[in-house]
């Protein structure tokens, strides 16, 4: 049974974007990263470094909009932050309010018109919108708006929020509240006018968003690593259903959803998406991933000569597995960090080999050894099979695969780019069948309870949030709380 799925590579102008994730490898891709600055004279530079720190959340396009109080200066482009923003260009982005965005498309086409922030003219001046996430009822709202005369400029679901605000007869803040109450999904929004910044998180806090300060300036970022990069002090996470308004009178804390939902951050943030040096809900990602590896060793020990992790997101878990078992951790695989964009399109043969463009086995390390390969997830199974075969080709005598998440069985509708259930290998095959499909000697997944315990850590009282396990848990389409008390199904 084959789960191979190859798609056409992404071309942007003369470039083949090898770093876009569009070439058919079956790793999940985060949806986007956002960064905002309010009242700092060097807002554009802070946003540049903040977006650079969030580059892992989206390599397809980058954009920034800066306000000097009277007008917008903005730029968007396809590619990485360092490619989109040159030194000369940065000098034109003047102002003390800024929102920035790095994008990996989960809805809308991969093209410049969908790059964010989206910028509009409306009755009260300029409006810019950047979001991390997905609005699942956007097609319905879009059809309704088009039937009543709205003309959309992009295929991005983010544009829906701008139209809802622009069509309202209320002031900006009340119009934004009404708009957020209409949309369904997982999202973190930054909305900017010439002199205001609005910050909002969805009612369940599925997407991460944090607030920091640098002097008197307020900063907002998808991950704390971006705040650390520029030396900002972390203040707190944005709460589910919260709406912050920053204007000439300061910071105003408000809400658009007054129901008290427990925060339910996407589990994949802990497993894979976020950088290891980021903290979410009071939990450090590196420490949580080490605990996942340790718990994996307890649940599914196998005798071997070395442990290796698939770079980069699985290295922390591999260290935890090695420490728990006493089996040495070795760098059995090396990641090529300089993929990005290139003028040279890879040959069909190289595309079919796929993973070798990004990953290489260290023959002198794995040759003649029984290897435990730690990875964070299996989606379609194609990449796992290629990595297992790569290790075997390098001389590994046995390859035992340990996945530090439960089987990925359900598509996500809240902002992660996932195939439908027919293309998810764990929805169709048993663990034993997947093991044969990826050519491993043995295979085990971390249990849901093991994942939860790993994220909570030793001091569970310090952990500040719930967890969305929608992609793993068939019993509850979306499990939003550790004790299962609060659940809701997808509205799609």
Q: What CATH number is associated with residue 213?
A: 3.60.20.10
How much is the mean pLDDT over the chain?
86
319 and 248 belong to one structural domain? no
- Write down the pLDDT at residue 262: 67
405 and 442 belong to one structural domain? yes
Which positions make up the binding site for Mg(2+)?
Answer: 313, 375-376
In a domain, 481, yes or no: no
What Rg value do the Cα atoms of the chain yield, rounded? 22
Q: How far apart are CA 451 and CA 460, in angstroms?
A: 13
- Cβ–Cβ < 8 Å for 238, 256: no
Q: How far apart are CA 453 and CA 157, in angstroms?
A: 35
| In the predicted structure, residue 352 carries a pLDDT above the cut 60 | no
Beta-carbon-side half-sphere exposure of residue 296 (alpha carbons within 13 Å) = 37
More confident residue, 39 or 427: 39
Query: Is-catalytic flag, 32?
Result: yes
252 and 292 belong to one structural domain? no
In a domain, 407, yes or no: yes
The pTM of this model reads 0.88
| In the predicted structure, residue 469 carries a pLDDT above the cut 60 | yes
Q: Using alpha carbons, select from 414, 440, 435 the residue that is nearest to residue 425.
A: 435
| In the predicted structure, residue 348 carries a pLDDT above the cut 60 | no
Confidence of residue 421 (pLDDT cuts 50, 70, 90): confident
3-state secondary structure of 243: strand
Confidence of residue 478 (pLDDT cuts 50, 70, 90): very low
Domain that holds residue 387: 284-336+348-457
Confidence of residue 134 (pLDDT cuts 50, 70, 90): confident
In a domain, 277, yes or no: no
307 and 167 belong to one structural domain? no
75-110 pLDDT tens trace: 999 999 999 999 999 999 999 999 999 998 554 556
Pinpoint the alpha helices (H) of 307-420.
315-325, 348-353, 363-366, 382-393
115 and 171 belong to one structural domain? yes
CB atoms within 10 A of CB 487: 15
Confidence of residue 24 (pLDDT cuts 50, 70, 90): very low
213 and 308 belong to one structural domain? no
Which positions make up the binding site?
Answer: 266, 313, 375-376, 412, 468, 471
In a domain, 80, yes or no: yes
148-176 pLDDT tens trace: 888 898 888 899 999 999 999 999 999 99
| In the predicted structure, residue 330 carries a pLDDT above the cut 60 | yes
- If one counts the domains in the chain, the total is 2
Query: CATH number for the domain including 310?
Result: 3.40.50.2020
217 and 319 belong to one structural domain? no
- Write down the pLDDT at residue 416: 67
In a domain, 279, yes or no: no
In a domain, 476, yes or no: no
- Scored b (16 or more CB within 10 A) or e, 6-28 reads eeeebebeebbbbbbbbbbbbbb
| In the predicted structure, residue 112 carries a pLDDT above the cut 70 | yes
In a domain, 271, yes or no: no
Bridge partners for 468 per DSSP: 266
Confidence of residue 351 (pLDDT cuts 50, 70, 90): low
113-130 pLDDT tens trace: 889 999 998 888 899 999
- Write down the pLDDT at residue 3: 28
75 and 196 belong to one structural domain? yes
296 and 254 belong to one structural domain? no
290 and 256 belong to one structural domain? no
Q: How far apart are CA 406 and CA 412, in angstroms?
A: 15
Exposed (0-12), middle (13-18) or buried (19+): which is 125, by Cβ within 10 Å? middle
More confident residue, 380 or 445: 445
Which positions make up the binding site for [4Fe-4S] cluster?
Answer: 266, 412, 468, 471
- Write down the pLDDT at residue 356: 64
151 and 233 belong to one structural domain? yes
354-363 pLDDT tens trace: 556 678 999 9
3-state secondary structure of 227: helix
Out of 2-6, 58-62, 219-223, 347-351, pick the least confident: 2-6
228 and 98 belong to one structural domain? yes
Q: How far apart are CA 50 and CA 210, in angstroms?
A: 12
| In the predicted structure, residue 193 carries a pLDDT above the cut 80 | yes
In a domain, 467, yes or no: no
Confidence of residue 27 (pLDDT cuts 50, 70, 90): low
Mean pLDDT within 324-330 = 98
CB contact set of 365 (below 8 Å; sequence gap of 6+): 306, 308, 330, 331, 332
- Cβ–Cβ < 8 Å for 449, 472: no
CB atoms within 10 A of CB 248: 8
- Write down the pLDDT at residue 12: 42
Task: Give me the catalytic one of 32, 65, 225, 435.
Answer: 32
- Write down the pLDDT at residue 22: 40
Mean pLDDT within 467-488 = 56
Q: How far apart are CA 492 and CA 61, in angstroms?
A: 27
Out of 36-45, 48-57, 144-153, 370-379, pick the least confident: 144-153
Specify the DSSP class assigned to residue 109: -
Confidence of residue 276 (pLDDT cuts 50, 70, 90): very high
233-258 pLDDT tens trace: 999 999 999 999 999 999 999 999 98
């Amino acid at each position: 049974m084959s789960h191979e799925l190859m798609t056409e590579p992404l071309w942007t102008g003369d470039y083949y974007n090898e770093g876009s994730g569009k070439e058919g490898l079956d790793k999940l891709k985060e949806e986007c990263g956002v960064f905002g600055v309010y009242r700092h004279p060097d807002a554009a530079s802070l946003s540049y470094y903040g977006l650079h720190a969030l580059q892992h959340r989206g390599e397809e396009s980058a954009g920034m909009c800066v306000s000097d109080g009277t007008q917008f200066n903005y730029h968007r482009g396809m590619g990485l932050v360092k490619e989109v923003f040159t030194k000369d260009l940065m000098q034109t982005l003047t102002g003390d309010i800024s929102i920035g965005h790095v994008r990996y498309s989960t809805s809308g086409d991969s093209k410049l018109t969908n790059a964010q922030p989206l910028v509009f003219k409306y009755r009260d001046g300029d409006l810019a919108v950047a979001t991390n996430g997905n609005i699942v009822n956007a097609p319905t709202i879009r059809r309704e708006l088009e039937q009543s005369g709205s003309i959309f400029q992009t295929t991005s679901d983010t544009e829906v929020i701008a139209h809802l605000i622009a069509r309202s007869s209320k002031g900006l803040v009340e119009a934004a509240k009404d708009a957020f109450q209409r949309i369904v999904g997982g999202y973190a929004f930054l909305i900017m006018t010439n002199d205001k910044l609005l910050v909002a998180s969805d009612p369940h806090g599925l997407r991460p968003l944090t607030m920091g300060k640098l002097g008197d300036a307020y900063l907002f970022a998808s991950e704390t690593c971006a705040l650390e990069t520029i030396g900002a002090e972390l203040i707190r996470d944005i709460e589910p259903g919260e709406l912050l308004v920053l204007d000439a009178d300061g910071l105003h804390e408000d809400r658009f959803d007054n129901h008290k939902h427990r925060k339910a951050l996407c589990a994949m943030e802990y497993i894979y998406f976020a950088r290891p040096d980021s903290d979410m809900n009071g939990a450090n990602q590196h420490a949580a991933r080490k605990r996942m590896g340790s718990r994996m060793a307890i649940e599914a020990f196998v005798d071997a000569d070395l442990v290796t992790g698939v770079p980069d997101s699985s290295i922390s878990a591999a260290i935890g597995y090695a420490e728990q078992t006493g089996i040495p951790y070795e760098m059995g695989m090396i990641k090529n960090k300089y993929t990005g964009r290139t003028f040279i399109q890879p040959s069909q043969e190289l595309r079919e080999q796929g993973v070798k463009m990004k990953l290489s086995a260290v023959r002198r390390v794995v040759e003649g050894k029984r290897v435990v390969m730690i990875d964070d997830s299996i989606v379609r199974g194609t990449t796992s099979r290629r990595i297992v075969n790569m290790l075997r080709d390098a001389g590994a005598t046995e390859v035992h695969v340990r996945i530090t998440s439960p089987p990925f069985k359900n598509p996500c509708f809240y902002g992660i780019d996932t195939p439908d259930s027919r293309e998810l290998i764990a929805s169709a095959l048993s663990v034993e069948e997947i093991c044969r499909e990826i050519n491993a000697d043995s295979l085990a997944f971390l249990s849901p309870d093991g994942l939860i315990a790993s994220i909570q850590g030793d001091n569970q009282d310090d952990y500040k949030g719930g967890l969305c396990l929608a992609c793993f848990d068939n019993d509850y389409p979306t499990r939003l709380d550790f004790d299962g008390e609060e659940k809701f199904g997808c509205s799609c």
